[in-house]
């Protein structure tokens, strides 16, 4: 764990997944904001300047790739990790085209997720 708390923004429509991710990430020293869907994140007027997005791919309405595309249109360039229960070559390709740092398959290992977040954020500012 580093001495600097980094922000992680979790977007997932499953309350149990959000709660589990919040707990696991806070134990590692991250500051975590939870969003119950893409619309909630898009409506947030106060996104941090430095954070890592952890976004579920399959959600009602807007999927994770579309959410990232909309954020990029708004010039929100936060690094993003995409999580999904089914990861395949096509999804990895779409994610790469959208600028996703990494695609992680559920169930997530806490260590893999934390390492991916730290890698996506790079050195502390």
From first to last of its 125 residues, the chain has per-residue pLDDT tens of 444 589 999 999 999 999 999 999 999 999 999 999 999 999 999 999 999 999 999 999 999 999 999 999 999 999 999 999 999 999 999 999 998 999 999 988 889 999 999 999 998 76
Task: Report how far residue 36's alpha carbon sits from residue 118's, in angstroms, rounded to the nearest whole number.
Answer: 23
**CATH code of 24's domain:** 3.40.50.2300
Residue 102 · residue 79 · CB < 8 Å: no
Residue 1 confidence (pLDDT): 45
Structural domain of 69: 7-121
Q: Is residue 21 part of a domain?
A: yes
The total domain count for the chain is: 1
Q: Six-digit token pair at 29?
A: 């020293």
Q: Is residue 95 part of a domain?
A: yes
Residue 2 confidence (pLDDT): 47
Residue 92 · residue 103 · CB < 8 Å: yes
Task: Report how far residue 94's alpha carbon sits from residue 101's, in angstroms, rounded to the nearest whole number.
Answer: 12
Q: Is residue 56 part of a domain?
A: yes
Q: CB-based burial of residue 33 (10 Å sphere; 0-12 exposed, 13-18 middle, 19+ buried)?
A: middle
Q: Is residue 2 part of a domain?
A: no
Considering the entire predicted model, what is its pTM? 0.93
Residue 124 confidence (pLDDT): 76
User: Using CA of residue 84, residue 77, residue 115, residue 91, what is the dihedral sign?
Assistant: positive
Q: Is residue 1 part of a domain?
A: no
């Amino acid at each position: 764990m580093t001495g600097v708390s980094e922000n992680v923004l979790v977007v997932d429509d499953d309350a149990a997944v959000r709660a589990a991710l919040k707990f696991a990430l806070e134990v590692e020293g991250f500051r975590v904001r939870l969003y119950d869907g893409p619309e909630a994140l898009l409506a947030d007027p106060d996104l941090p300047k430095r954070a890592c997005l952890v976004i579920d791919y399959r959600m009602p309405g807007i999927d994770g790739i579309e959410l990232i595309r909309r954020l990029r249109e708004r010039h929100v360039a936060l690094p993003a990790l995409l999580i999904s229960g089914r990861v395949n070559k096509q999804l990895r390709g779409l994610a790469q085209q959208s600028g996703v740092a990494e695609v992680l398959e559920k169930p997530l290992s806490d260590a893999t997720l934390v390492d991916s977040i730290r890698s996506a954020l790079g050195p502390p500012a």
